[in-house]
Chain A
């Protein structure tokens, strides 16, 4: 028990220190007292001129022991029967309150943790549900988009086809007009230049042959 040893040493040390200090100061005190006594104008003296320690005067022993026994006895009675039980009561009440509060806090913490677990569980459920809804919605959107795209594509190719057909028809019409015009122009030119009136059917066949040749 190093602790006890240290305390024992402390006690011994302070005892030795105290005793030696006491010796020193008693000597100093005695010298001072003697100096005061031998001073020519010593105003005091009389009752304690002896310079001895009042502590060592046996005349005081009975009263000191009597009053010590009385006061210490009263103190012990008051402490053991009145004061200390009251302090102990207060301390115990506080200890009880603290442990009760701690137990309550632990219980509340447990409850809170249970609630937290519950919340997390429902949160996870909600999250997965939300993800399902999102996936469903995006699949639906995707399908919708694709349908519209397909429709749009069909629509566009339909229009393209129509446009191409009408362009081809217009081209055919234009070519036919060109042939008729060309036949007229050919008959007119040959009539004026050669004075030959070409048969319309013959001119038309010649123009058609040239056109056919050009179109390749």
Chain B
């Protein structure tokens, strides 16, 4: 056991984490990164499409903000959206100056291309592997600055004080499990902990997300007392390969790729799903259109439709989308230069997450979140393609700076229980939250003023948890996890209805009860992935429950959340953010206001048509 001490601890080393660490370092802080992978293994590397930034003549950040608010189906908060759109150009240029290999125009300037839901071709890209370049470029800058990285160190819990009101609590650090040695370590952070742990895509069976995407940061923040916001809004990407869930970039459609059903019809137009934008309508619109086609008997094998880009020509495809040729070939056995690619919707992105303000700060003092694990909220009910990468760099940088003690301005977004405007009103079919007998995770941490002692007490508690899991001769977590994934994909997918959502909550409860019986059968302290995955599975259960509860309560159709029997967006009743707080094991559903008031205008909700 070792206690490490730094000013700022960044948990997770994908795009948001790397950017946060660089920013904190530049603000003069002693910053360290703790990550369960090595930084270059992070899932940011799989992002393909690009970075939206109003960079060029004729474009304006106000237009980017308008598109984003509309895309969010008016569930984005205007102060956050405007911050994103204002800061993105500068942040994108910063990446270029750090050497990122953007695709180029004839005049040597960075290229931009059209993306779904955007009024201007403002998606800056590096082939169809933008995330790979962004990740490696920022990791290079971390190496350059000599920032300490604790890699293959799994953060399993936050060290937080346990005042009754989460707004009075302080986060003093976190507990890491060294995967290589099995040692538990305490990390004390005098300035703050920045969670940048990515999304929870692994709660679904068919997902574009890496195996590591288990939403650990969301689950830890939730149990420490931070509400999870708008978790029912899950993006299903319309073009994933049927056999693996591997993503085929929206860039294919941005460059002119066409979707066909099995009748050879260009259904986005033929059946009026999006008469103006066709294939380039917002992702939720295209995903629903595909499933509708398949359900109407106009799909191909494996519930797929076809995405055809052959007409773009080999030269253009090789120049701008070469990576797609490799992906379709290696993972689906289809050469997209010769035949159309089968595609279907797959879980891709969690719009919701840890509630934060524009500085990335949560209601717990010293606890920050940025990137997919956070909900600031810029994506609202639906994220536009090309808006995730700018979120990483814009809000990663802000969280890093603020945690390092810089003044980044007074936030307009209010967080924590004091932002509550009304209570939730829904009858779940089963009990939620902690199973009474043995909750393996304590809530809220310990009551003590010294950071060191808070970290040490949490360390003891986590040691007990590890010992218990190692000693139990129980069931394999993998069985529980796969049942969870199956029910989420069956019942909490693109189309949702009351019965399905209730069934999912019953299944999640069943998973939670069975989880009490799990044990780790690998006895080794060396690289025990059995143990790590067992802990991750608990995190997935917590988040799946929050997500499904929010979805059951929300009786309207907004953005990515489609509800049978409620086919309209209902601004009267539902123009509000969903919040679920762990509440020491007794989940509390409530709502907060959406901020539509921008810097100099109000974004009036309009009908969202493409």
Q: Do A and B come from one complex?
A: no
